[in-house]
Amino acid sequence: MTDNLNPQPRSYHMTPDEFRKYGRAVVDWIADYYERVESLPVLSRVHPGEIRAKLPAEPPQQGEPFEQMLADVDRLIMPGITHWQSPNFFAFFPSNSSGPAVLGELLSAGLGVQGMLWATSPACTELETHVMDWLVDMLGLPEKFKSTSAGGGVIQDTASNSALTAVLAARERATGWAGNERGLDGRLVAYASTQAHSSIEKAVKIAGLGRANLRLIDVDETFAMRPDLLARQIAADRQAGLVPCFVSATIGTTSSNAMDPIRRIGEICRAENLWFHVDAAMSGTAALCPEFRYTHDGLELADSYCFNPHKWMFTNFDCDCFFVADRAALIRTFSIMPEYLRNKATESGAVIDYRDWHVQLGRRFRALKLWFVIRHYGVEGLRHHVRQHVELAQRFATWVREDERFELAAPAPLNLVCFRHQAGDEFNRKLLEALNNSGRLYLTHTTLGGRYTLRMVVGSTYTEARHVEAAWAQIQATASQLA
């Protein structure tokens, strides 16, 4: 076919009928994957460079058939996949997904709308605001985080960006918005515990406060921040002529799921007029269940809060839910208004333009998948699975306690169990390596009190009792072999 013979312009686009055909193939591929993922080695076994070595050095000049691409996913890509959706994935924090989430993501990709302004797709903004308000009720969060109050919620990509957003709003509030305008003077100070996620340090660096101005407050025997030491440090910094501006506390630290005392920290922040951010990236989901809401006690004292449905609420990455009590402070921190974005709806003041709620301008329609997940499961279904994960983790903790070779390394309030063999760091390191090399499960580690510690998180969508039982059997057997 040449342009001479055919007056129609040549098109290389996939036709709607081809999309139907190949779309079904990909849907079936994913369904097959979920049926077989349990049998695959969880941790990829490739060596550095092994995947790239099989890829052609040059990009294709001519298009290739879709069938070939899908076959290459199996042939070239799958050996390099670590299976985060495996029921035997117990590493890091989960990044669990589900059918309704994946289909919501698909629909969002198909629609391909931008939600940077209300006007660029009103439904994208309004569904997001609505679902975020639903979540306030679902998790029992303070009413001030609702859009119908002075606050509101926005979907961010990650808790790292939520932390950055919070640090920036704190920085600007503390400087009367002079940081944005004139830059910084090196006197602002931020606070978190020694157990806080690395994203807090990253945010403090990005925002120009300097790592030296991030105070890492020591923790108690449960690895929770000590409010007395926080108060003392704030006083010392004020004494030194510095300007405390931001405190981040964690509901469920990454290392050990430690619970910072939100109420007591919040009281200090209110007394000292500091921006109080609460990071509940994984454990926030537990607040779906009334019996776990004690972890959020005092949250009404917070200025901002985030949790990640993309970790433990069956919503595929990325979906971090960030709430603020004072949306005006947030918007003032991020607002820009070039001529090419001006529009009547914005100028009316009657709408939310989410571009002023975070770093990015462009944003996709992520509320769709969250809406699908909440409606598919219902609050009841979500609670059921969260409770099941917690119960399985608690059973695991019981088995650890009952085996005299092992010990718990930290309290296990929810679905993360930190444990170690009593034979010491080197033994535990070998144990972890042997377990992960087996392909039957994947665990990661941390250090607690200076000691090498294994972490077992129960939070993958398809993890059932039998997987946790098999994991413990494998841990016991491997420990015996190594001993």
Using CB under 8 A as the binding rule, the residues of this chain from 419 to 458 that contact a copy of itself are 444-447, 455
Looking at beta carbons only, is 189 or 259 nearer to a copy of itself? 189
Q: Kindly identify the residues of this chain, within the stretch 3-22, that bind a copy of itself according to CB under 8 A.
A: 9-20, 22
Task: Tell me which residues in 251-310 interact with a copy of itself (CB under 8 A).
Answer: 254-255, 310
Given candidates 378, 398, 401, 483, which one binds a copy of itself under the rule CB under 8 A?
378
Q: In the set 23, 267, 408, 439, which binds a copy of itself (CB under 8 A)?
A: 23
CB < 8 Å & 24+ apart, contacts of 232-237: 233/191, 234/191, 234/268, 234/272, 234/274, 237/189
CB 227 within 8 A of CB 265: yes
Query: Distance between CA atoms of 306 and 276, rounded to whole angstroms?
Result: 12
Query: Integer distance in angstroms from the first to the last C-alpha of the chain?
Result: 71
Candidate segments 243-251, 271-279, 312-320, 399-407, binder of a copy of itself by CB under 8 A: 312-320
Shortest spacing between CB 270 and a copy of itself, in angstroms: 26
> Which position has the token pair 């969508």?
461
Beta carbon of residue 379, minimum distance to a copy of itself (angstroms, whole number): 5
The residue among 290, 219, 294, 293 whose CA lies nearest residue 258 is 219
Which of residues 223, 246, 372, 399 is near a copy of itself by CB under 8 A?
Answer: 372
As a whole number of angstroms, the distance between CA 335 and CA 418 comes to 43
Does 210 bind a copy of itself (CB under 8 A)? Our answer is yes
Span of 270-278, 295-303, 359-367, 397-405 interacting with a copy of itself by CB under 8 A: 359-367
Binding of a copy of itself by 216 (CB under 8 A): no
List the interface residues with a copy of itself, window 138-197 (CB under 8 A): 138, 157-158, 160-161, 164, 168, 171, 179-186, 188, 197
Contacts of 146 (CB under 8 A, 6+ apart): 133, 136, 152, 153
- The yes or no reply on residue 223 touching a copy of itself (CB under 8 A) is no
* C-alpha to C-alpha distances, 142 to 125, 250, 325, 432, nearest whole angstrom: 22, 17, 9, 41
Among 38, 85, 415, 472, binds a copy of itself (CB under 8 A): 85
Closer to a copy of itself by Cβ: residue 176 or 338: 338
Task: Single out the residue of 307, 282, 230, 215 nearest to residue 261, CA to CA.
Answer: 230
Q: Given the complex with a copy of itself, which of 191 and 266 has the nearer CB atom?
A: 191
Instruction: Specify the amino acid at residue 168.
Output: L
Nearest to 461 by CA among 103, 101, 98, 104: 98
Q: Is the dihedral of CA 234, 240, 241, 242 positive or negative?
A: negative
Q: Which of 40, 44, 434, 482 touches a copy of itself by CB under 8 A?
A: 44
The answer to whether 321 and 357 are in contact (CB under 8 A) is: no
Compute the least distance from the CB of residue 160 to a copy of itself, in Å. 5
| 188 vs 301, beta carbon nearer a copy of itself | 188
Distance in angstroms (rounded) separating the CA atoms of residues 307 and 164: 14
Pairing of strands 451-457, 416-421: antiparallel
Question: Which residues between 86 and 145 bind a copy of itself (CB under 8 A)?
Answer: 92, 95-103, 105-107, 109-114, 118-124, 126-127, 129-130, 134-135, 137-138
- The answer to whether the Cα torsion of 330, 333, 334, 338 is positive or negative is positive
| Buried b / exposed e along 373-392 (16+ C-beta atoms within 10 A) | bbebbeeeebbebbeebbeb
Among 63-71, 218-226, 244-252, 470-478, the segment contacting a copy of itself (CB under 8 A): 63-71
Instruction: Give the number of residues in contact with a copy of itself, rule: CB under 8 A.
Output: 167
In angstroms, what is the minimal distance from the CB of 264 to a copy of itself? Answer: 25
Q: Given the complex with a copy of itself, which of 268 and 331 has the nearer CB atom?
A: 331
Q: How far is the CB of 325 from a copy of itself (least distance, A)?
A: 21
In the range 24-43, which residues lie near a copy of itself by CB under 8 A?
A: 24, 26-35, 43
CB of 476 to a copy of itself, least distance (A): 23
Q: How far apart are CA 68 and CA 76, in angstroms?
A: 11
Say if residue 224 is exposed, middle or buried (CB neighbours under 10 Å; 0-12, 13-18, 19+).
buried
Give the three-state DSSP class for 349. coil
Amino acid residing at 474? Q
Using CA atoms, how far residue 76 sits from 42, 66, 82, 176, in Å, is 17, 15, 14, 54
Q: In this chain, which of 1, 5, 6, 59 binds a copy of itself, going by CB under 8 A?
A: 59
Site for a copy of itself in 329-358 (CB under 8 A): 334, 336-342, 345, 348, 350-351
Nearest distance from residue 314's CB to a copy of itself, in Å?
Answer: 8
Q: Shortest gap between Cβ of 272 and a copy of itself (angstroms)? A: 20
In this chain, which of 140, 202, 430, 474 binds a copy of itself, going by CB under 8 A? 202
Tell the smallest beta-carbon distance from residue 159 to a copy of itself (Å): 8
Distance between CA atoms of 149 and 431, rounded to whole angstroms?
Answer: 52
